[in-house]
Chains A and B, each alone.
Chain A
Amino acid sequence: MEFLRAVVAWLLDPAHWAGSGGIPTRVGEHLLLSGGPLVIAILVALPIGLYIGHTGRGAFLAVNLSNIGRALPSLGILGIFLPITAGLGLGFGVPPTVIALFALAVPPIVTNTFTGIREVDAELIEAGRGMGMRESELLLQVELPLAMPIVLAGLRTSAVQVVATATLGAVLGTGGLGRYIIDGIAQQDDPQLFVGAVIVALLAIATELAFAALQRAAISPGMRHSGQSPAGLDVDAPRPAL
Chain B
Amino acid sequence: MPDEPLIRLDWIVDNLGEIGRRLGEHIVMTVIAVIIGFVISFALALLVRRYHSLAAPVLAASGVLYTVPSLALFALVLPFTGLSLLSAEIALVSYTVLILVRNVLTGLDSVPPDVSEAAVGMGFTASQRLWRIELPIALPVIVAGLRIATVTTIGLVTVTSLIGQGGLGYLIVTIGINQFFSTAIYVGAILSVALAIGADVALLRIQKALTPWARSRAG
Contact = CB atoms under 8 A, between A and B. Distances in A.
Given A184-B75, A201-B76, A73 B189 contact: yes
Nearest to A232: B63
Contact of B188 (A79, A171, A197, A241): A79
A174 interface: no
A115 to B, nearest CB: 16
B128 to A, nearest CB: 32
Interface stretch (A56-64, A158-166, A220-228): A158-166
A176 B1 CA distance: 27
Contacts of A163: 69
Contacts of B186: 79-80
A168 interface: yes
Contact of B75 (A83, A193, A242): A193
Question: Would you call the interface of chain A mostly helix, strand, loop, or mixed?
Answer: helix
Interface string B74-101: 1110111001000000000001001100
Interface string A225-242: 000000000000111111
A238 B99 CA distance: 8
B69 A185 contact: no
* Residue of A75, A196, A200 with most partner-chain B CB within 10 A: A75
B40 to A, nearest CB: 16
A194 B76 contact: yes
Contacts of B155: 71-76, 242
B182 interface: yes
A92 to B, nearest CB: 9
A238 B74 CA distance: 20
Interface string A63-102: 0000010111111111110111011000000000000000
Interface of B: 1-2, 6, 64, 66-76, 78-80, 83, 95, 98-99, 102, 148, 151-152, 154-156, 158-159, 162-163, 169, 172-173, 176-177, 180, 182, 185-186, 188-189, 192-193, 196-197, 200
24 contacts: A71-B155, A71-B197, A75-B159, A76-B172, A76-B185, A76-B189, A82-B185, A164-B68, A164-B72, A165-B69, A167-B69, A168-B159, A184-B75, A185-B75, A190-B78, A190-B79, A194-B76, A201-B72, A201-B76, A204-B72, A207-B67, A239-B152, A240-B156, A242-B69
List the 5 shortest-distance A-B pairs measured between CB atoms, nearest first. Answer: A76-B189, A73-B155, A164-B69, A83-B182, A197-B75
